Amino acid sequence: MRAITSKEIQTFLDELNQDLQPEQWKIHCIRFAPNCPEQNPIEDIWLQAKTWVRRFCALIPTFSHLKWMFEWFIRHTTFDFRTLGMYGVFSKIK
């Protein structure tokens, strides 16, 4: 699988949003600063998931059970924190 280039993304967004005004665009692409967890909401999700796993890892008998619990936590937790609202309206990530 090859990586998608910035030019391909720009072409896609140009075609999708056509001649619409920015407030009417169907998709907005926001670049996060590299290595800046304060700007990237996924960092908060990973932190909560890792904290949850650390809290229970001594009680889990096998790695496969621990993996299952991690996936369960990610799928069944509704995340709601400040960075989710930094870039406009987000649906509840679940």
Condensed to tens digits (0 to 9), the pLDDT of residues 14-32 reads: 888 888 888 888 887 777 7
Under 8 Å between Cβ of 17 and 23: no
Contact call for residues 30 and 13 (beta carbons, < 8 A): no
Count, in order, helices (H) and strands (E) of the chain: 3, 0
- Chain-centroid distance of CA 55 in Å reads 23
> Quick one: what percent of the chain has pLDDT higher than 70?
87
What does pTM read for this prediction?
0.54
The pLDDT tens digits of the residues spanning 29-88 come to 777 776 777 777 788 888 888 998 899 888 888 999 989 988 999 999 888 777 777 766
